Structures are given as structure tokens and as C-alpha cells.
Amino acid sequence: IPHLMDRWFRAPYTNYTDAITERAGDVLNEWEVFWELSKRLGYPLPLAGGDTPMDERPSDDAIIDLAYAGSRMPMDEVRANRRVVHPDKAMIVSAADPTCTAKFTVAPDDIVAELGEVHVEGDSAVALGVDPSLYPFRLVSRRLKHVLNSYGSSLSVLGAKGTSNSAYMNPQDMLDHHLVEGDLIEIFSPRASVHGLVEAAPDVRRGVISMAHSWGGSSLTDEKVRDIGSPTSRLVSVDKGYDRINGMVVQSAIPVRIAIAEHINH
């Protein structure tokens, strides 16, 4: 079931695979955590197909049936149609109802005011309270073709295509900093630093470094950067620049500077 991700695919399709291994130890499905909480609170979980049974733990299939009740294709059909593309199920947007004149409120007044503040700030470095000139690059996230973040990199076929989340840079920026592909750089934010292997990407704007996230390990150093990548989350400041309502921190366009750690030809 391409839950939440179906909009990314070229055509609607169905695929369903039963579990092939038994769970080990105290491993739980995500839904079981909420079911256990609901049971302790004395309230059932309300799903599209009705409340979950609370007298005994339902099966995975029972939960899926309740969660997807009323969907455009019943779960029984999904289970029966494995690896099938359904062009007739494509979503089509209908014309607007000419009799409907209602409009959404763009945002609450305080949000509009905050957006005005952000517009004046103009830069994530200002939001973090640092001098933008000390951090001339902005680190943004990136998707890789062969894996989802780092998911799949442990598979031999996918791992052969890449074992690290390279630091993609504009070729002109590389030239200005005397870098070639394969060089190792250290990337500093106001909070910490990570290492990255340089790769050229003409589609990356000048002044930007693009790296995939969710790589690396729990170590605070990056000796294995060529084998497992490095965690860009280390660069995120959690005590400055966060949103005053929901606490969200600056996770993109992170102000950074770079230094050469190792030239590939040395």
C-alpha cells in the first residue's frame, strides 16, 4: 500500500505482500502502540471502518481493513491485485462548483504577522543569531535516486551505487575552493560540523550545498563517512531560531562554511 506516497508515482497501482517472518522479542507494529494506549485509557481507536475491538488485540489485517474502509478500492481487491497498475483509478480534479463562493482564510493574524517578520529576516543565519558573512553557504536536503534517505543502502545492489551522502556543490563553487569530486570537506554550522564527500551538481545553485539526511551513525565523529555517510542533523541548532508556536527548528538552508579535510589526490 503506497500510504501517503501514492502521489509521487506515475500511475495508481496496487501491491500487497503478507508478512514473511515472525516478529522477534518485544517488537510492535506502530498501530499496536496506539491500541495499547487506547486500551489503558478505556477508549477505542476510531477508524474509517469503525472503532477497533478492545476486548482482544486485533490482527494486522483487521486494522488495515478498518483503516482503509470506504477507499476507492476495497482491501480484498488490493490483496488480490498484486503488482497491478490501474490507469482507470487515476485522480481527476473536477471543475469548481460555480455556486460555491466560500473561501479559505489564508492564515490566522498572528501567523501572517510572523511571516512578515520572516520576510524581513530574509536569512536563516539571522534567525539563528549569527553573522551571515561567517557562513557563506546554505545546506539543504536532497533526494538520492537509489535509496530513500539511507534506507536500502544495506542491500548489496543498492549499496553498490553509493555508500555515502555526498555533499553536492555547484561546479563553480568547487573551482573557487580548489575542490574536485571525491575531496573530503568539513562542513561547519553554528552548532557543530560533519564531513562530506564532494560531488559536482550543475543544478545546485551557487552558495548551496545539498546533502541527503538520515545517514551516518551515532558517533560524534565521521571516520566512516565514505562507508556510512554523515548525519546532517548534527548541524541543527535546537536552542536558537526555533518557531515560538510549534518549536520547529531551522532544518533547511542551514548556514554553513566549509574547510578542506582531505584532497583525493593527496
C-alpha cell at 197: 564527500
| pLDDT given for residue 6 in this prediction | 66
| Domain-wise residue ranges, the chain | 6-89, 109-262
SS3 (DSSP) at 85 = strand
CATH topology of domain 109-262: Barwin-like endoglucanases (2.40.40)
Overall average pLDDT of the 122-135 stretch: 90
Strands (E), 142-226: 167-169, 184-188, 193-200, 208-211
**What pTM, to 2 d.p., does this model score?**
0.69
What's the confidence (pLDDT) of residue 1?
46
Q: Based on the number of CB atoms within 10 Å of its own CB, is 140 exposed (0-12), middle (13-18) or buried (19 or more)?
A: middle
| Cα 212 from chain centroid (whole Å) | 9
**pLDDT of 173 over the 60 cut:** yes
Please state the rounded mean pLDDT for residues 86-106. 90
Angle at 140 between CA 214 and CA 219, to 5 degrees: 35
The Cβ of residue 222 has, within 10 Å, a number of other Cβ atoms equal to 22
Residue 57 pLDDT more than 80? yes
pLDDT of 13 over the 80 cut: yes
